[in-house]
Structure 1
Amino acid sequence: MTQNDSSAKSEGYRSGTAARLTGVPVETLRVWERRYKVVGPRVSPRGQRLYSNEDIQRLTLIKQLVDAGYPIGSIAHLPTASLQSMRSAPEKPTKTYHVGIAGAFVASPNVIEALKHSALRVTCHTMIPAEAATLFKDAHIEAVIVELPTLTDDTPNVVSRIQQACDASQAIVLYRFAPGKVVRRLRQNGIKVARATSDPHEVAALCQTLLHSNSQPSPVISSNLNSNDTPPAPRFNAETLSQFLAASNNPYCECPRHLIELILSLNSFEQYSAECVNRSPQDAALHRDLQRTAGQARSLLENALDRLADVEGWRRESAAA
């Protein structure tokens, strides 16, 4: 062992050396540290970051998993031991489920392709949940996955009709906004409920996990802004956003995916605010304001997405496909 090697082991590795050892560019390393806190290197008296052997091992594992298709945001906070297990011996589910899927995003080609790499086998699908009970009739599948932007008092009945039509013993409902009482009622009926995500592989992993376990993610409902202007109609439909998601394939920056998820959530919150129960004229005015505000925020983010699509050339890629 040379004197330099011994010094590096005792003092730590500088950024350039850490980048070379792990295969993570220095710029990416900075972003991962700032945004995801993947490691916490100590800082020398001269202000230089010094990475320990444990940091190097952790960064190497994360780089390998990102290259294998795992989103950085989904693994950045996992313990190193969990990362090692995922890399060396990922657990394979023993049971395969034949499923029917209904929803604008969950039944899109991107999600169906991601599901091919899971334990779920898509037997029937539709992008319109209202048609599922008819289209899935006599399919004799084991589970249905229904994606709805918002949930209403009638949602449990809708899901029950779909289950009965295809004789499915399990059901998963993915949503973006919902009253807590509806979520509780669905769970009381044995239906598994979770917040929707806009990453196809995360959808596949989430549904597979729910079907193999009894876990129930907690609902999250939030938003309150203020705006008086009537926002324009949504510029992008679910199919276009799905195409943009497929085109944004940079594993080191997930900003495009997060931006699209925000737009989808705001779209859903607009609808949720319009459908929410109003107890008085003042309450109705509040919900109209929430709806307008969500629409205004959505419009601003759509402007940003429009610019991003031009810079990244996503429209050209969609046209070529």
Structure 2
Amino acid sequence: MSDIESDQSANEELFGTATVVARTGLTAARIRMWEKRYGAVEPQRTETKRRLYTREDLQRLSLLRSLTDAGHAINRIAAHPLDRLRSLAAEEAEVVRRSQPTADSRVLVVSETGNALLGDDSSVDFEWSCPFATLQDALDSPAVPGADLLLIETDTLFEETLDSARLLAERTGARRTLIAYRFATRELEQSVRGDNPDVILLHGQRDAGRLRRECVFQLEALTGRSDMPDAGAIPERLFGSAQLAKLANISTAVDCECPRHLAELLKGLSAFESYSEACEDRNKDDALVHAYLHRTTAQARRSMEDALQHLLKAEGIELG
């Protein structure tokens, strides 16, 4: 150790770059960039130009890493005093704390079926209630309970259904709405899926297991606590089983078997999509995996359906 290092160490605890890297999780290159470009820290130097960081430098770098991970731009916060960085970090911690799903995460159900819609499953870590049979009942009520998620059951889906659902979401504070329905126009479905990321459409049979799985998936997605990547919404199917069966036996003008091959692939994807949707859920993590598999398979199925549509157009094939 040089004389300068000895004198400094006697008055203040100093840390080398390797120690700072280990304690903050930042790379040495990132630390140097923040120092040079933004003046985040001003390390001391030995006679051999080796950087030495104080305990306050270490704290600043740790806070800056946490805040940039949370979305703050380094160029906006690098020059903040330590107390301000601590205050921002405390605010971020409070946001995270409030967003964590707990056993008190609430799902408000609107359904004529009542609480039976979601069945009886004590393994899920959210609470639900169904005080209203219809959307109009909920909107007419002088007291509507708060909710993190809305689940609305309806036979038909119209524009006015969506308008009422939006009003109810505002009154309850719900951040996302699930609508389980049987009938709607293709135009309306496409409009909702394209323009309303906080409205999730669930078409078809209302199975309690499927609905519980969807509620778990959406609550986890809202808080970012799930390790599962966001696979997007579940697209509607463009080809029915009868159409795929017809394509499996069709011949084309150029003797191309691609329609048959694509039809077979789509039949397999559709079968696995239905299987993953219907899989038994033993716990919350199991439900999340099945919901993720359902979504990724549905997205793959849609990509293949789009490819098949282009092929049929190129081949001049009409299914009727």
Question: Fold match, TM over 0.5?
Answer: no
Task: Give the TM-score, by structure 2 length.
Answer: 0.34
TM-score by length of 1: 0.34
Larger relative contact order (Cα-Cα within 8 Å, sequence gap ≥ 6): 1
